[in-house]
Amino acid sequence: MRILVVGAGGVGSAAVGIAARRDFFDAMVVADQDVGRAQRAVERYVGDGRFVAAQVDASSADAVAALCREHGATHVLNAVDPRFVMPVFDGAFASGADYLDMAMSLSRPHPVSPYELTGVKLGDEQFAKSEDWQAAGRLALVGMGVEPGLSDVFARYATDELFGEIDEIGVRDGADLQVLGPDGRPAFAPSFSIWTTIEECLNPPVVWEKERGWFTTPPFSEPEVFDFPEGIGPVECVNVEHEEVLLVPRWLDARRVTFKYGLGEEFIGVLRTLHKLGLDRTDPVRVGGVQVSPRDVVAACLPDPATLGDRMTGKTCAGTWVTGRDTQGRPREVYLYHVVDNEWSMNEYGSQAVVWQTAINPVIALELLAAGTWKGRGVLGPEAFEPRPFLDLLTAYGSPWGIREH
């Protein structure tokens, strides 16, 4: 297996550190628009001949395909913002490589009723090309991060092994992470890409119900307090647009599928202000003689999430809450989860908890593909694969998962 990682930010760099401890691949090319960042991602592994840095324009399918061919890449791992999903996806296909990502092609709200009806849904552009991938005998494994990704693996595991009938599959994400500023006080510094966070949180959230199919609600709707494990405790969670709601119903049977994220009052307030001021927009505006995207300006004004680890404390939890009846017809409610402590991930890998928790999952998926344990053709989500080998390997990587009965 020869892997091209497109993107050497926090998640891409964390994936390099995780993969470096494994022996399932022959080469890993780490590419970024900023070749210096790619070089920094691999510099500590200079003695490992498998790693090399390269430059790539992720907005160009031709550039991605050319780099794949140059290095004989068999698999492309997309670790850049979701606005670049389609060129990286198309570039991998053009080169004959298989493909993995952690976020799917972008949505576009319904032009008339955005808070009731779906428009272009997350992943629609990719699934529209599934027959092409299948005919070519290639695999595009989409949504293989932590959420989506591990959360979808949990949903498949619950379906296969824990339940006979499912009422709701609800992904619930919460944390007690805190970033300290130079003065030692809590600071506003998102632990993940603000570009992606704005996209997720300000778009109309999607909900799936068997009787209605996919529909939307206003941002931050249906608040609930969810009690997260391992000391994190109660966190208010709200509806957020996320890939799991678009993936799970394609493979698994449930009456309802939701995604709720623990954002907190301050974060929601900041997002609402950005939206009110138009600073969430991606289309360029003229400032003096320069055309600039307001969202890119916001991202440039905030610290790089990859650099926050030594100023961050606390834990992050990703998980899937499932309700229904067990195989004997008795009521059952469980929460399958994965917790990462920032102190541990920093000490062990030098990566902050959120990006490390995201990065470990595509690396595990690549190892399962390399071994032939996971196989597939076309555009597939994590739900299409056997969950037990993935969860066993997650534990073998030194980061076990848990299950809580309610």
Closest CA to 367 of 385, 398, 393: 393
What is d(CA 13, CA 126) in angstroms, rounded to the nearest whole number? 25
What is d(CA 85, CA 122) in angstroms, rounded to the nearest whole number? 11
Residue with tokens 């995780």: 18
* pLDDT score, position 188: 74
List Cα–Cα distances, 183 to 186, 377, 386, in angstroms.
9, 52, 48
Asked whether the CA dihedral 333, 213, 226, 173 is positive or negative, the reply is positive
pLDDT in tens for each of the 406 residues of the chain?
A: 999 999 999 999 999 999 999 999 999 999 999 999 999 999 999 889 999 999 999 999 999 999 999 999 999 999 999 999 999 999 999 999 999 999 999 999 999 999 999 999 999 999 999 999 999 999 999 999 999 999 999 999 999 999 999 999 999 999 999 887 777 777 776 766 777 788 878 899 999 999 999 999 999 999 999 999 999 999 999 999 999 999 999 999 999 999 999 987 788 888 889 888 888 888 899 988 889 888 889 888 887 776 777 788 999 999 999 999 999 999 999 999 999 999 999 999 999 999 999 999 999 999 999 999 999 999 999 999 999 999 999 999 999 999 999 8
Note the pTM of the prediction, 2 decimals.
0.93
- Assign 3-class secondary structure to the chain: CEEEEECCCHHHHHHHHHHCCCCCCCEEEEEECCHHHHHHHHHHHCCCCCEEEEECCCCCHHHHHHHHHHHCCCEEEECCCHHHHHHHHHHHHHHCCEEEECCCCCCECCCCCCCCCCCECCCHHHHCCHHHHHHCCCEEECCCECCCEHHHHHHHHHHHHHCCEEEEEEEEEEECCEEECCCCCECCCCCCCHHHHHHHHHCCCEEEECCCEEEECCCCCCCEEEEECCCCEEEEEEECCCHHHHHHHHHCCCCEEEEEECCCHHHHHHHHHHHHHCCCCCCCEEECCEEECHHHHHHHHCCCHHHCHHHEECEEEEEEEEEEECCCCCEEEEEEEEEEEHHHHHHHHCCCHHHHHHHHHHHHHHHHHHHCCCCCCEEECHHHCCHHHHHHHHHHCCCCCEEEEC
* pLDDT score, position 402: 98
* pLDDT score, position 192: 66
Dihedral Cα 372, 375, 379, 381, nearest 10 deg:
-90
List Cα–Cα distances, 68 to 22, 46, 97, 266, in angstroms.
22, 21, 8, 43
Q: How many CA within 13 A on the CB side of residue 70? A: 16
Kindly report the length of the chain: 406
**Mind listing the domains of the chain with CATH numbers?**
2-101 (3.40.50.720), 150-349 (3.30.360.10)
Tokens of 345: 């991930």
